[in-house]
């Protein structure tokens, strides 16, 4: 996420007078986002709350979130990258091809109005969801949106933030960045971390059949991944840690039931704006925590011979 221009949700709540949601449906997926942060809150700089804010929704279909929007732009599926590139050109007053604009499904004068609003707001924020980052173009779409946000800072204050899904997926990014220097798609097979999404990212690894064992925690790829990836998980020894017996547990060699985080297990979780928050579990689980089980497995692995020969020239860290 190097180069991301962003802020906390507290700043959005107090200052953002122009909000864009791109490829997300907060009304149904993040139901309190509008009321707590982006639309309804009043502040010193936005004393009239909703009336002081403008909200734009960009999506391929009219979701429930469109009802809350002032402007809804229905982009043709798969044209997000093109639309973002056109907006980047228009922000700089560069000419754009009318055919390319027509291809996105949105009229030129609508885009002209959007660009004028973007440049003239006091504090703009673009939130982007999986409708942008997981469709044609994938991470290049996210990069285009983050670049647009960065470039708008030549005119006004503008930031961007991903709308993260499942609970602590932000925490996973943060912890991996802290421990390895990279956010995901990492290998330690040379004894030090290397990063290459596409080569080391899970779907690709599983579909190609690269890995020969899998340890799955806090996820259910057996329910969400493409079938060839699931087939490979069933072929290799898979170990699952989860509060429930999941689809993945059913095709795994080993399943261990653990306490659900935040309900019966204590710890820390990151909000989507990378603010760490302590968990306050209400219940006492009969099962151990994820933390305890992963530590015990790591300790059990550590009693066995280390995988890399001791005289290997690649050995870079002192091993216990």
Partner 1 sequence: MTLQTIDNATCTFCGCVCDDIQLHHDQMRIHKAKSACVLGTAWFLNHTAERHYPDALIDGREATVDEAVEMAAALLHEADMPLVYGMSNTTCEAQKECVALADQLGGLLDSHTSL
Residue 317 burial by CB count (10 A; 0-12/13-18/19+): exposed, middle or buried? exposed
Q: Which residue from 52, 135, 207, 267 is in contact with partner 1, where contact means CB under 8 A?
A: 267
Q: How many whole angstroms separate alpha carbon 205 and alpha carbon 20? A: 34
Cα distances (Å, whole numbers) of residue 96 to 85, 89, 101, 106, 142 = 10, 7, 7, 13, 21
Binding region for partner 1 (CB under 8 A) out of 49-57, 69-77, 103-111, 232-240: 232-240
Binding region for partner 1 (CB under 8 A) out of 10-18, 40-48, 112-120, 301-309: 301-309
Q: Which residue from 4, 42, 76, 271 is in contact with partner 1, where contact means CB under 8 A?
A: 271
Minimal distance, residue 176 CB to partner 1, in Å = 6
Cβ nearer to partner 1, comparing 82 with 273: 273
Cβ nearer to partner 1, comparing 37 with 87: 37
Per rule CB under 8 A, is residue 105 in the interface with partner 1? no
Q: Which residue from 97, 283, 309, 316 is in contact with partner 1, where contact means CB under 8 A?
A: 283
Q: For residue 105, what are its two tokens?
A: 């499904």
Q: For residue 127, what are its two tokens?
A: 């939130």
Per rule CB under 8 A, is residue 140 in the interface with partner 1? no
**Helix or strand or coil: residue 41?**
coil
Minimal distance, residue 14 CB to partner 1, in Å = 17
Minimal distance, residue 233 CB to partner 1, in Å = 9
Per rule CB under 8 A, is residue 289 in the interface with partner 1? yes
Binding region for partner 1 (CB under 8 A) out of 89-97, 114-122, 143-151, 251-259: 251-259
**Helix or strand or coil: residue 227?**
helix
Per rule CB under 8 A, is residue 256 in the interface with partner 1? yes
Cβ nearer to partner 1, comparing 30 with 88: 30
Q: Which residue from 67, 122, 208, 253 is in contact with partner 1, where contact means CB under 8 A?
A: 253
**Between residue 151 and residue 190, which ones bind partner 1 under the rule CB under 8 A?**
163-176, 179-180, 183-189
**Helix or strand or coil: residue 4?**
coil
Q: How many whole angstroms separate alpha carbon 272 and alpha carbon 77? A: 26
**Between residue 11 and residue 70, which ones bind partner 1 under the rule CB under 8 A?**
29-33, 36
Minimal distance, residue 261 CB to partner 1, in Å = 5
Per rule CB under 8 A, is residue 215 in the interface with partner 1? yes
Minimal distance, residue 138 CB to partner 1, in Å = 10
The most distant pair of C-alpha atoms in the chain lies apart, rounded to whole Å, by 69
Count of residues binding partner 1 (CB under 8 A)? 107
Q: How many whole angstroms separate alpha carbon 84 and alpha carbon 297? A: 46
CA angle 303, 305, 310 (to 5 degrees): 130
> Could you tell me which residues come within 8 angstroms of residue 161 by beta carbon, excluding any fewer than 6 positions away?
6, 7, 9, 12, 125, 126, 127, 128, 272, 273
Q: Which residue from 45, 266, 309, 316 is in contact with partner 1, where contact means CB under 8 A?
A: 266
Q: How many whole angstroms separate alpha carbon 184 and alpha carbon 176? A: 7
Q: How many whole angstroms separate alpha carbon 257 and alpha carbon 185? A: 26
Minimal distance, residue 235 CB to partner 1, in Å = 13
Q: Which residue from 62, 97, 113, 210 is in contact with partner 1, where contact means CB under 8 A?
A: 210
Q: How many whole angstroms separate alpha carbon 306 and alpha carbon 258? A: 28
How, if at all, do strands 254-257 and 123-128 pair?
unpaired
User: How many Cα atoms occupy the beta-carbon half-sphere of 66 within 13 Å?
Assistant: 11
Q: How many whole angstroms separate alpha carbon 91 and alpha carbon 120? A: 11
Q: How many whole angstroms separate alpha carbon 184 and alpha carbon 256? A: 24
Cβ nearer to partner 1, comparing 122 with 253: 253
Q: Which residue from 16, 55, 58, 264 is in contact with partner 1, where contact means CB under 8 A?
A: 264
């Amino acid at each position: 996420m190097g180069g991301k221009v962003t802020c906390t949700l507290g700043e959005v709540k107090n200052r953002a007078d122009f909000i864009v949601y791109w490829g997300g449906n907060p009304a149904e997926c993040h139901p309190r986002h509008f009321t707590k942060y982006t639309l309804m809150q009043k502040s010193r700089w936005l004393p009239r709350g909703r009336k002081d804010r403008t909200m734009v929704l960009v999506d391929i279909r009219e979701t429930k979130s469109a009802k809350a929007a002032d402007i809804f732009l229905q982009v043709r599926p798969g044209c997000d990258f093109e639309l973002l590139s056109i907006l980047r050109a228009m922000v700089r007053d560069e000419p754009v091809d009318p055919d390319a604009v027509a291809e996105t499904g949105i009229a030129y004068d609508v885009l002209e109005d959007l660009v004028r609003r973007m440049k003239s707001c006091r504090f703009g924020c673009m939130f982007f969801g999986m409708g942008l980052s997981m469709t044609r173009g994938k991470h290049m779409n996210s990069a285009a949106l983050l670049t647009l946000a960065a470039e708008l800072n030549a005119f006004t204050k503008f930031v961007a933030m991903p709308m993260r899904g499942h609970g602590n997926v932000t925490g996973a990014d943060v912890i991996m960045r802290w421990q390895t220097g990279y956010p995901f798609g990492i290998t330690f097979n040379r004894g030090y971390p290397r990063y290459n999404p596409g080569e080391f990212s899970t779907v690709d690894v599983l579909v190609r059949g690269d890995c020969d064992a899998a340890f799955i925690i806090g996820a259910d790829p057996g329910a969400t991944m493409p079938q060839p990836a699931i087939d490979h998980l069933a072929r290799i020894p898979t170990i699952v840690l989860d509060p429930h017996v999941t689809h993945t547990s059913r095709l795994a060699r080993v399943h261990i039931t653990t306490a659900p985080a935040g309900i019966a297990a204590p710890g820390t979780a990151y909000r989507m704006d990378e603010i760490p928050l302590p968990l306050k579990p209400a219940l006492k689980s009969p099962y151990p925590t994820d933390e305890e089980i992963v530590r015990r497995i790591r300790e059990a692995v550590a009693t066995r011979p280390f995988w890399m020969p001791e005289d290997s020239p690649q050995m870079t860290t002192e091993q216990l």
